[in-house]
Amino acid sequence: MTEPQGLDQPWRIWASAAVVAILLAGALLGGIIIPVVQGQSAGVDAFTAICRAIGILPGSPARPQPLDRNPPSPVSQVVWTPDVLQVLARADTERGRTKVMEVCIACHGEQGVSPAPVNPNLNGQSGAAIYKQLHDYRTGSRSNDQMTAVAQALEEAVIADVAAYFAGQPKRDPNPKTLGGSRPEIVKLVELGDPARGLPPCAACHRPGSGGPIETPILAEQSNEYLVHQLQLFATGQRRNDVYARMRTIAAGLTSAEINGLATYYRAGFK
């Protein structure tokens, strides 16, 4: 280049100074001033606020979370890691059948159709849903006089085998005839929810054949009494193994007439 140095030098100095100044201003504002001020109103000390802003510590400098230093206890120990999914994928339905004949058959029937309406039907249920519930009984996330003891006696791999066996039993047949009796407001609740009360549609997660989150159970052809009982347990907080308290929140917003109506709807099956 033959341009004189004198012409270029100010450019190099001032351009670099401008860029560095902008960066420093950004770092000062975003990394120190704003988080410290936000932290003051949220009761977060300055050092923690700065660390959170930079991303070294989790959380926001503008919120006082976490509320306490106790480790949070998850509502369920089940995490859908690749390892767990592999266990489910490798489940052996024959071994599952043997265990079902030994233990489950008395209350849930040979094919998962329960003789007593207070016990859930398991035929054609999502394997992931059965796995999660059995696992939750085993770890104490969900409790039931009979099931807690039964599940604690099962090993991890056997749980997956049993789940796979029931999942492989005949699917529940959607029944158009019995559905005719559902009241329009119940059908609306299922299909559209009630945004005014913050209730999402049931069908957002509970679909025929599969669910939204992987552990969502299929509800079609489930027994009326079982569904009413479970919704009541969620509503009162006695059952609490739903991740993010989804079902507790929803069930607590339902009237008892709606609980009965929804149980009847799902008793009937899908359109």
End-to-end CA distance of the chain: 79
Look at residue 211 and give its three-state secondary structure: strand
Q: Is 48 in the site for other proteins (CB under 8 A)?
A: no
Q: Which one of 37, 41, 42, 61 is in contact with other proteins (CB under 8 A)?
A: 61
* Contacting range for other proteins; rule: CB under 8 A; set: 78-86, 114-122, 238-246, 247-255: 78-86
CA–CA gap between residue 10 and residue 134 (Å, rounded): 73
Q: Is 183 in the site for other proteins (CB under 8 A)?
A: no
Give the residue with the Cβ less far from other proteins, 54 or 245. Answer: 54
Structure tokens at 235: 């509503």
Q: Is 44 in the site for other proteins (CB under 8 A)?
A: no
Q: Is 2 in the site for other proteins (CB under 8 A)?
A: yes
Q: Is 157 in the site for other proteins (CB under 8 A)?
A: no
Q: Is 67 in the site for other proteins (CB under 8 A)?
A: no
Q: Is 82 in the site for other proteins (CB under 8 A)?
A: yes
CA–CA gap between residue 164 and residue 130 (Å, rounded): 8
In the region spanning residues 5 to 34, those forming contacts with other proteins, defined by CB under 8 A, are 7-8, 10-12, 15-16, 19-20, 22-23, 25-27, 29-31, 34
- CA nearest to 220, candidates 239, 201, 240, 206: 206
CA–CA gap between residue 50 and residue 36 (Å, rounded): 7
- For residues 182 and 265, is the Cβ–Cβ distance under 8 A? yes
CA–CA gap between residue 134 and residue 150 (Å, rounded): 9
- Only one residue has tokens 């807690």, namely 148
Count, residues near other proteins per rule CB under 8 A? 36
CA–CA gap between residue 160 and residue 84 (Å, rounded): 9
* Shortest CB 110 distance to other proteins, Å: 34
- CA nearest to 206, candidates 258, 122, 270: 270
CA–CA gap between residue 228 and residue 242 (Å, rounded): 16
Q: Is 3 in the site for other proteins (CB under 8 A)?
A: yes
Q: Is 152 in the site for other proteins (CB under 8 A)?
A: no
Residues in contact with 31: Cβ distance below 8 Å, sequence separation at least 6, in sequence order: 50, 53, 54
Q: Is 1 in the site for other proteins (CB under 8 A)?
A: yes
Residue 190 corresponds to which amino acid? V
Q: Is 255 in the site for other proteins (CB under 8 A)?
A: no
Q: Which one of 70, 73, 81, 255 is in contact with other proteins (CB under 8 A)?
A: 81
What character string, x for contact with other proteins (CB under 8 A) and - otherwise, covers 84-113? -x----------------------------
* Shortest CB 7 distance to other proteins, Å: 4
Residues that bind other proteins (CB under 8 A): 1-3, 7-8, 10-12, 15-16, 19-20, 22-23, 25-27, 29-31, 34-35, 50, 52-56, 60-61, 80-82, 85, 192, 195
